[in-house]
Amino acid sequence: MKRFTKMLSIFLSMILVLSIFTSVASASTEGPNAPVDLQIPTLAFDESSVTLVWKKPEDYSDIVDFNVYMNNEKIGTALEDNNGPAKEYIENFYENIDQDDFHVKILIHNFKVENLDPDTAYEFYVTSVDANGKESNPSNKIIGKTTPTPEVFNILDYGATADDETKDTKAIQAAIDAATPGAKVLIPEGTFISGEIWLKSDMTLQVDGHLIGSADAGDYSQNFWLYDYSTDERSYSLINAHTYDYGSLKNIRIVGDGIIDGNGWKYDVNHPTTDEMGNELPRYAAGNNSRVTGNVKVEDGKLSPLDLDSPNTLGILAATQSYAAQEMGMNARSAYAMRSNLITVRGVDGMYYEGITQLNPAFHGIVNLHSENIVINGTIAKTYDGNNADGFEFGDSQNIMVFNNYVDTGDDAVNFASGMGQAAAASEPTGNAWIFNNYIREGHGGVVTGSHTGGWIQDLLVEDNIMYKTDVGLRSKTNTPMGGGARSILFRDNALEEIDGDGPFVFTSSYTDSNAVILYEPAEVISQFRDMEIVNTTVRNQKGNKQAISVVGNSDAGEVYHENITFRDVKFDNVLATNINYGKDIKFYNVEFTNVSNNGEDPWRIANSTGLVFENTTMSAVSEDAAKKPHWPENAAVQAESSADGTSITLTWDAATDNVGVAGYTVYQNDEKIGTSYATTKDTSYTIDGLAPATEYTFKVEAADATGNRTSNGPEVMVKTLGKADTTAPILPENTSIHEPTTTIPASDTFSGEEVQVVYPGFTWASVAWEEASDETGIAGYNVYANGELKGFAKSNRYTLPKLQPGTTYIIEVEAVDVAGNKTPYGSSLEIETAPPYAIGAPTFTDELEAKVENNGSDVQLSWNEATAINQDVIGYRVYVNGQPIKAEDVEFTPINDEMTTTDTTFTVKGLKEGTHTFNVEAIGHSIKQSKRERLADVLENGLVDVSHYRWSGFGPSTTITLGPNIINAKPVLDGDVAEATVSKAALKAAFAKTPKVKGVQIIEVLLEKVSGAKTYELTIPTEFLTKGGKNERIQLSTEFGILLLEGHMLSNAKVKDETVTVFISSGKTDEDKPSIELGVQANGKSVNYNHPGAPVQVVIPYEPTAEELKNPERIGVTFIDETGKQALVKNGKYEVDKGSVTFTTTRFGQFDIVFK
């Protein structure tokens, strides 16, 4: 996997965002502290605007607003001049809902600067303001530069027609395909219908009209897989940016004042909704996998017709896609996953959304997968009550900002995911996210981690948001086999009102999704939520009948707690009591409950939880009990007495005490808790049965009170059971066969009407079962082997084997083990085969693209080494020239189809015109996935069908060639860190012969292609071209480090006897981290003294000034350093803004450093 660059994305490499950190350590003693980390989010700028965000200082208690300055003039305040869609709702919240000032006042720390000039740099800083109007010192200062005015590609110019029933898919895609880097594709005012479209790098999609998704299922490709290891096939989205070569798609913006409408569901006409501002909200039908299609069913071996007009059919696109998938053979549950998201991006580095309104997705809203540097600013989401209609999703993604949005969704508002099960355990965690200044309304959760938590979700800052009528404020959900979890989350300065679902704060390991159909290998480490803080937050007027705080761990696999969650300075009013079950080290500091509406006004319901802390917090008898652990007497002991036959032990112990009362005792055998209940017994004695005679055991006892607060220093004893050692092996059952558990496809789910038993093979796991063995002392469990290797120990007669290899045959064997360690092999075996290996990543190349100019400069022959791919067959290549594909006229290239330019590793591009051409090659990998077809399970093995899956590379090799009579393209060869190239006498003579004079001067340009790792570029040419040429016969040496224009007689006074000379340019850095180059000439490895006042060399060095230097570019210059180290200013050296380079002429070679005078 290619790693993304951890930096701010630069759009078109033309936007300069440079921070100038002031020396302000803190605000003055009379004013508030200064804001910190002023920045321009990724891609949050265009030709006329720049968006600023900043963070609050460590102490912000006296700050009420922020002033914004541009070029040292105040241009507004964050509170008064914020123009995002959340603003009026936030203001209304405090004016009309929070009339008694109960809630925390959130701070606005974003600002959009508008009406700027294109391609212009501006300086910004921000100050804090307190209630008396006093300002802080400035924040760090930054320079933001607007983009040049972009080229606009209007879809109307490509055949789109507004406000009719015509599908505009091809016109929209044609405009996207034609767009040049940095361009804007415009969807103007009016309504346009489209199927799936595909975005590309370095573009803006501006939606000012109403883009509505086609209702035809055939307008959306299938064979979308959420994860590499997914087993549920899905469909692609209305808008897609897609690559498995993560990071090869970059700098994409979706902006505008228009609407992106998924056309997924019908309106719920029975429940019209008006929001708290009096604005009418769309409300979509709350469907499910049967009601989406009006309960179609199998009749006479086929599906009954889909009636979109029936009031029983709740879906539109959701219905047609689900129905089409069922016609292919899926049952209703699997087909329900075939609905399209509104927008899905995969593998993008730099993704920006602003201004758009999202409506009515068939599935999820805006989904970002395996992407980085993502910003969602000032958008509107109105997707309530569409099933699964999440607002913003982030899966396996990092570096995220979500701010200034109005969100009203049918599922989670802002959701984070990180994969499922063991396959996700080694993934990079999802996170480094900042969610602030949003108005979050209806939704299952305001900010949500899970349920896909396998690779961990971490480092979230959630602050200064309003959550009104949301089901849950902070929602963390997972289940036991999912693995991973969420950690390092700070939820502060948020106001929660009328939360009406499971509660303001939910941390649960018991989440289930009725629509989930992905199968995966269970994680080795059980999922957990931990290390979170909820700070300075207010909660009031909770609705429903659940709880203010829900903590639900479990005892499925030992005891799984959610732990180290801290509530600090939190106020709850008119809420329900908490419900904490399997919480550990949860802390409450300055937490106030008033007007608890249930549980006898007691805010605390606590069970199976330990280590809870309460300081300056509303208390009751329950929390007083939870705050103190039971206490053991100083010399507490446990006595053990073995039965005569040694198969049981009776323990007795001294009673522990508690401030309220000891509710029970937990008994551990050899460090493992006995049973699944939190407490083993309420008594001070307990008998353990099923032991092995003549065997040593260690037992320990811990005491717990009614809330579960448990000791950790209880008494323990080591004892050896009586009796004669058991040497009798377990007795096998009559039926010793091993089998794979099956899934029943009911008769109602098959076209034939026959019930079918199927087995779904796992990629890296397999489940097996067998009948139980018996033993006179007891069965401890079973050893399970695969191909002779012990894979695990099962305590029951079922087991899931982990860590298998995909596409591999295994022989499974089992042996019973009794409590004494005696073993009996079952003597039978089961042959299983895991699912075929799934594709991982995209094809990759190991070498560069070779280019050879042919046919007098009109053709270029390209050649490359064959690409390779993991679990894929590389079957072909696409060739691009200047970003445009070479293909037949009627062929469409998409990121997911198998159309290609060639199956060979050579290709000749013909008929090229003079000029610079960039060529690149991408490879396609082909793999097979198995997709469920339950309705055909009686005719397809296990109801599975093979589907082809294609992945294109995005980081394929590239080369740039300039064609023309005066151009020689020389490909250097790297030797160490020196890139060496040679141009022959014949090539130079031919070039001079074909090159006309311009104002009496001939210039032959020798282009040295950039070579990764090179620190020096060398060009070797015949000596005569620098000694016998004239002043007007010149050679231009062009490299990544700089350009040298060499006159044909520059070495005429150097007396060089060798037939060839080598000109070199080396690059380094000065002590001030500025470019330093060395220029030289050698012959036969020895230095040639160039010093010819009559043949100066013109030099151009690319240079990107700092923000401070841009204020005075005339002070940028060049110094020459001679062999003694003496420096002298090159008087004609200067920075040319339009070229972005430092230029000078010189009559001698040596070291030249760029300086700021």
Q: Please determine, for residue 4, whether its predicted confidence score (pLDDT) is greater than 50.
A: no
Tell me what pLDDT residue 29 has: 54
Q: Is the C-alpha dihedral spanning 951, 954, 960, 963 positive or negative?
A: positive
Three-class secondary structure of residue 22 per DSSP = coil
Pick the residue with more confidence: 241 or 24? 241
User: What gap in Å lies between CA 1120 and CA 1076, rounded to an integer?
Assistant: 10
Listed in sequence order, the residues at least 6 apart from 5 whose beta carbon sits closer than 8 Å to its beta carbon are 247, 349
Do 115 and 83 meet the contact criterion of CB atoms below 8 Å apart? no
Three-class secondary structure of residue 90 per DSSP = helix
Tell me what pLDDT residue 516 has: 65
Other beta carbons within 10 Å of 997: 10
Give the model's confidence band at 5: pLDDT under 50 very low, under 70 low, under 90 confident, else very high.
Answer: very low
- Average pLDDT, whole number, for the chain? 95
Give the model's confidence band at 423: pLDDT under 50 very low, under 70 low, under 90 confident, else very high.
Answer: very high
Which of 187-191, 757-761, 893-897, 1135-1139 shows the lowest mean pLDDT across its residues?
1135-1139
Q: Please determine, for residue 132, whether its predicted confidence score (pLDDT) is greater than 50.
A: yes
Q: What integer is the mean pLDDT of 886-911?
A: 97
**Is position 109 annotated as part of the catalytic site?**
no
Other beta carbons within 10 Å of 592: 15
- Radius of gyration of the chain, Cα coordinates, nearest whole angstrom: 35
**Is position 411 annotated as part of the catalytic site?**
yes
Q: Please determine, for residue 385, whether its predicted confidence score (pLDDT) is greater than 50.
A: yes
Q: Within 132-234, where are the H helices? A: 169-178
Question: What are the tens digits of pLDDT across the range 637-681?
Answer: 999 999 999 999 999 999 999 999 999 999 999 999 999 999 999
> Look-up: residue for tokens 């012959």?
1083
Read off the amino acid at residue 166: T
Going by their DSSP bridges, the two strands 503-508 and 562-573 should be labelled as unpaired
Question: What are the tens digits of pLDDT across the range 443-471?
Answer: 999 999 999 999 999 999 999 999 999 99
Among the listed residues 574, 569, 575, the one whose alpha carbon sits nearest the alpha carbon of residue 589: 569
User: What gap in Å lies between CA 357 and CA 210, rounded to an integer?
Assistant: 9
Q: With pLDDT > 70 as the criterion, what percentage of the chain qualifies?
A: 97
Tell me what pLDDT residue 558 has: 79
Per-position DSSP letters for 727-786, written without gaps between them: -PPPBPPS---EE---EEE-GGGSTT---EEE----SS-EEEEEPPPB-SS-EEEEEEEE
Q: Please determine, for residue 741, whether its predicted confidence score (pLDDT) is greater than 80.
A: yes
Listed in sequence order, the residues at least 6 apart from 1126 whose beta carbon sits closer than 8 Å to its beta carbon are none
Question: What are the tens digits of pLDDT across the range 195-215?
Answer: 999 999 999 999 999 999 999
DSSP character at residue 600: G
Instruction: Write phi, then psi, for 279 (nearest 5 degrees).
Output: -90, 140
Other beta carbons within 10 Å of 426: 9
DSSP character at residue 95: I
Kindly state the tokens that stand for 939.
């005719």
Read off the amino acid at residue 956: G
Tell me what pLDDT residue 3 has: 33
Selecting among 109, 242, 364, 444, the annotated active-site residue is 444
Q: Within 919-975, where are the H helices? A: none
Q: Please determine, for residue 25, whether its predicted confidence score (pLDDT) is greater than 60.
A: no
Determine the CATH number of domain 638-720.
2.60.40.10
C-alpha pair distances (Å), 762 with each of 127, 768, 830, 834, 836 = 57, 12, 15, 6, 9
* H-run or E-run covering 626: helix 621-627
Do 423 and 229 meet the contact criterion of CB atoms below 8 Å apart? yes
Determine the CATH number of domain 11-145.
2.60.40.10
Do 790 and 814 meet the contact criterion of CB atoms below 8 Å apart? no
Other beta carbons within 10 Å of 1017: 26
Kindly state the tokens that stand for 893.
């290239």
Q: Please determine, for residue 181, whether its predicted confidence score (pLDDT) is greater than 70.
A: yes
Q: Count CA within 13 A, CB hemisphere, residue 1139.
A: 14
Report how far Cα 538 is from the mean position of its chain's Cα atoms: 30
Three-class secondary structure of residue 1002 per DSSP = strand
> Look-up: residue for tokens 């019973």?
816
Tell me what pLDDT residue 514 has: 61
Determine the CATH number of domain 420-431+442-627.
2.160.20.10
Listed in sequence order, the residues at least 6 apart from 152 whose beta carbon sits closer than 8 Å to its beta carbon are 183, 184, 185, 186
Give the model's confidence band at 1036: pLDDT under 50 very low, under 70 low, under 90 confident, else very high.
Answer: very high
Sheet holding 738-739, edge to edge: 738-739, 766-770, 798-801
Read off the amino acid at residue 806: P
Question: What are the tens digits of pLDDT across the range 783-803?
Answer: 999 999 999 999 999 999 999
Q: What integer is the mean pLDDT of 389-403?
A: 99
Other beta carbons within 10 Å of 223: 15
Question: What are the tens digits of pLDDT across the range 310-335?
Answer: 999 999 999 999 999 999 999 999 99
C-alpha pair distances (Å), 550 with each of 577, 582, 586 = 9, 10, 12
Q: Give the right CATH number for 840-959 from 3.40.50.12160, 3.40.1010.20, 3.40.50.300, 2.60.40.10.
A: 2.60.40.10
Give the model's confidence band at 605: pLDDT under 50 very low, under 70 low, under 90 confident, else very high.
Answer: very high
Question: What are the tens digits of pLDDT across the range 993-1023?
Answer: 999 999 999 999 999 999 989 999 999 999 9
Read off the amino acid at residue 810: Y
Angle, CA 275 vertex, CA 274 and CA 278 arms, to 5°: 75
Q: What integer is the mean pLDDT of 27-43?
A: 87
Q: Burial letters for 1100-1127: b for 16+ Cβ neighbours within 10 Å, e otherwise?
A: bbebebbbebbeeeeebbbbbbeeeeee
Give the model's confidence band at 14: pLDDT under 50 very low, under 70 low, under 90 confident, else very high.
Answer: very low
Reported CATH class of domain 965-1156 = mainly beta
Q: What integer is the mean pLDDT of 768-777?
A: 96
Do 1078 and 1047 meet the contact criterion of CB atoms below 8 Å apart? no
Do 137 and 14 meet the contact criterion of CB atoms below 8 Å apart? no
Tell me the Ramachandran region of residue 387: left when phi exceeds 0, alpha when psi lies from -120 to 50, beta otherwise: beta
Q: Please determine, for residue 917, whether its predicted confidence score (pLDDT) is greater than 90.
A: yes
Selecting among 98, 130, 390, 411, the annotated active-site residue is 411
Taking each continuous run of H as one helix and of E as one strand, the counts in the chain are: 9, 93
Does 738-833 match 638-720 at the fold level?
yes
User: What gap in Å lies between CA 1008 and CA 396, rounded to an integer?
Assistant: 39
Q: Please determine, for residue 1, whether its predicted confidence score (pLDDT) is greater than 50.
A: no
Read off the amino acid at residue 236: Y
Tell me what pLDDT residue 517 has: 63
Going by their DSSP bridges, the two strands 183-187 and 203-207 should be labelled as parallel
Other beta carbons within 10 Å of 387: 26
Q: What integer is the mean pLDDT of 376-400?
A: 98
Q: Please determine, for residue 11, whether its predicted confidence score (pLDDT) is greater than 80.
A: no
Q: Please determine, for residue 26, whether its predicted confidence score (pLDDT) is greater than 50.
A: no
Do 291 and 385 meet the contact criterion of CB atoms below 8 Å apart? no
Give the model's confidence band at 1106: pLDDT under 50 very low, under 70 low, under 90 confident, else very high.
Answer: confident
Per-position DSSP letters for 508-536, written without gaps between them: ESB---TT-----PPPSS--EEEEEEEEE
Question: What are the tens digits of pLDDT across the range 66-98?
Answer: 999 999 999 999 999 988 999 999 999 999 999
Under CATH, domain 738-833 is a member of which superfamily?
Immunoglobulins (2.60.40.10)
**Domain-wise residue ranges, the chain:** 11-145, 420-431+442-627, 638-720, 738-833, 840-959, 965-1156
Three-class secondary structure of residue 597 per DSSP = coil
Question: What are the tens digits of pLDDT across the range 869-885?
Answer: 999 999 999 999 999 99
Among the listed residues 824, 639, 626, the one whose alpha carbon sits nearest the alpha carbon of residue 715: 639
> Look-up: residue for tokens 């929602």?
475
Which of 1-15, 503-517, 799-813, 913-927 shows the lowest mean pLDDT across its residues?
1-15
Q: Burial letters for 681-711: b for 16+ Cβ neighbours within 10 Å, e otherwise?
A: beebebebeebbbebebebbbbbbbbbbbbb
User: What gap in Å lies between CA 786 and CA 563, rounded to an integer?
Assistant: 37
